[in-house]
Amino acid sequence: MNQNLIFVFILFATLSVVDSLPHRLDKRDSSLEWGTCYTSAGTFPRLNVETSVFPVEGQQDTFTVSGPLPTDINANDKLYMIFVDDDDPKNKITFSTSACGENGLPQCPIKAGTQFSIPILLTVPQFPDAFDILAVIGNPPDETLGCAYTDLWPDPPI
């Protein structure tokens, strides 16, 4: 009788520990869900964004932004990758590169409706908790030609 009671206790203890382990390992692939940017100024055409690996804080990653957009991309337009701390929106880190005209980039101007691809290599910044990533092409805040948005939980809550 005591052996059965001990066995049942160990079984329940094991099951409770296994149930509490993180099980969202499927989120650790290289694809993130990117959505449309909504602001008080309206919505913007959505960019397609891919990463070479799942973004890890402190690690280098290549973000490739592509599309076509409904307006021309000119030589003065840039691609911005903006990382924003969810806990403190004033805490943001911005990376930028030319959108066209430089080595390895499409020729300027990129005409409206033309497929393009712009890679940017950067080191993913570290934040205390969750953060958002925005990919923006244009010259914000005056001109935004396209945008994409995702939120990232490096250590998903369980």
Q: Residue 78, SS3?
A: strand
Q: pLDDT tier at 122 (50, 70, 90 boundaries)?
A: very high
Give the Cβ contact number of residue 46 at 10 Å: 17
pTM of the model: 0.76
Secondary structure of the chain: what % helix, strand, coil (to 5)?
A: 15, 40, 45
pLDDT for 84 = 94
Mean pLDDT of 119-138: 92
**∠ CA 20-150-31 to the nearest 5 degrees?**
70
Q: How far apart are CA 16 and CA 121, in angstroms?
A: 42
Q: Residue 21 above 50 pLDDT?
A: no
Question: Which has the minimum average pLDDT: 3-7, 8-12, 66-70, 137-141?
Answer: 8-12
Q: Is the pLDDT of residue 145 over 50?
A: yes
**Taking the CA atoms of the chain, what radius of gyration do you get in angstroms?**
21
CATH of domain 25-152: 2.60.40.770
Residue 104 per-residue DSSP state: T
pLDDT at 157 over 70: no
How confident is the model at residue 155, as a pLDDT? Answer: 54
Domains of the chain, by residue range, sit at 25-152
Characterize 148-157 residue by residue with b for buried, 16 or more Cβ atoms within 10 angstroms of its Cβ, and e for exposed: bbbebeeeee
Mean pLDDT of 128-132: 86
